[in-house]
Amino acid sequence: MKKIGIVGSGLIGRSWAMLFAAGGYKVVMYDIDKNALERAYKIIEEQLYDTEKDGLLRGSLSAKEQSALISITSDLPEVVTDAVHVQECVFEDVELKKKVFRDISDYCNNDQTVLCSSTSCIMPSKLFTGLKRVSQCIIAHPCNPPSLCPLTEIVPHPETSAGVIERTRNLMAEIGQTPITLKKEIDGFALNRIQYSIINECWRLVLDGYLSVEDVDKAMTDGIGMRYAFIGPFETCHLNAEGTTQYMEKYAEGIQRVSSTFGAVPDFDDNSVAEINKQMCKMVPDTREGLEARRKWRDNCLLELAKVKAKVKTD
């Protein structure tokens, strides 16, 4: 049976462990903090049985079979030895990750093993340059929560081998994720660059007094976002005219005119943060209970959306 190593058992490490076990892989998970590791295994077991009870378990194996595929260890070499893929999920700290990759790289005993980071925003050149197994290193950045939002950004280092890129993409697709591959590295990768451009303009619209926080969010959830769950910005253009060429003949001038008024990147100063937070808290209190309840509601919505998307795909 093929083995996957997980390094770091926090939110993302646990998510990967469950995704790989659902795909039928043997998963060995490591954490430097033994208590965190034991806690993580318990959370995973609970989540597997809960999702099974709700009829929402991924893959064809039962919760019992999936939890039997996952084991924990405090021995890093045990995680790396003979693994087909090692997924690093430690804190977002470049020096810590570099050290972890040096260790993983030293313990690795196979030129075919993929050494993969979950980093949200550290570029491959900052993380992997100089490592002796750099050609085996790559980033697979998941979207949170990974079990409900399948997008995974694959970001290779310039020296990552073509075979490693292909195997990472194939593995992600096999376990039900949606891989996209950056052809070259860029700060923020794709997802956060797109997301930040939206946050910046929404921030300006509220702070410059055009819209309330509530109405900006409605513009997304009941407007643009309705389409974006099914078609991206390019297909939106294509379908909103007789193809992209005609769309741009009609709208390019307007897009350029409006875009030239966007202004500078907001500086997110304390006053503006306090104003946005005040308006936001009227809708969702920033208490532990308030946030937890809303997250639960969000995850349920995403689950229902995933069902609709799966149905639409097979129709």
How many other β-carbons are positioned within 10 Å of the β-carbon of residue 128? 27
Q: Which residue, 9 or 113, has its beta carbon nearer to ligand NAD?
A: 9
What's the distance, CA 243 to chain centroid? 31
Interaction between residue 5 and ligand NAD (CB under 6 A): no
Distance of CA 215 to the CA centre of its chain: 27
User: Is residue 8 near ligand NAD by the rule CB under 6 A?
Assistant: yes
Supply the minimum distance, in Å, between the C-beta of residue 39 and ligand NAD: 9
d(CA 17, CA 118) in angstroms, rounded, equals: 13
Q: How far is the CB of 96 from ligand NAD (least distance, A)?
A: 6
Indicate the burial class of 6 (C-beta count within 10 angstroms; 0-12, 13-18, 19 or more).
buried
Pair 305, 221: CB distance under 8 Å: no
Beta carbon of residue 109, minimum distance to ligand NAD (angstroms, whole number): 19
Contacts of 63 (CB under 8 A, 6+ apart): 45, 48, 49, 51, 52, 57
Nearer to ligand NAD, 92 or 242 (CB): 92
Does residue 28 bind ligand NAD (CB under 6 A)?
A: no
- Beta strands, E only, the chain: 3-7, 26-30, 70-73, 85-88, 114-117, 137-142, 151-156, 178-181
DSSP symbol at 157: -
Cβ nearer to ligand NAD, comparing 9 with 147:
9
Q: Of the candidates 24, 26, 36, 284, which one interacts with ligand NAD according to CB under 6 A? A: 36
Q: Does 50 bind ligand NAD (CB under 6 A)?
A: no
Rounded to the nearest 10°, the torsion over CA 229, 231, 233, 238 is -160
To the nearest whole angstrom, how small is the minimum distance from the Cβ of residue 59 to ligand NAD?
21
Site string for ligand NAD, 123-162 (x = CB under 6 A): ------------------xx-x------------------
Q: How far apart are CA 129 and CA 123, in angstroms?
A: 10
- Does position 191 bind ligand NAD by CB under 6 A? no
Count of residues near ligand NAD by CB under 6 A = 24
Kindly indicate which of the ranges 8-16, 51-59, 153-161, 247-255 contains the residues binding ligand NAD, using the contact rule CB under 6 A.
Answer: 8-16
Provide the binding-site residues for ligand NAD, judged by CB under 6 A. Answer: 7-13, 30-33, 36, 89-92, 96, 100, 118-120, 141-142, 144
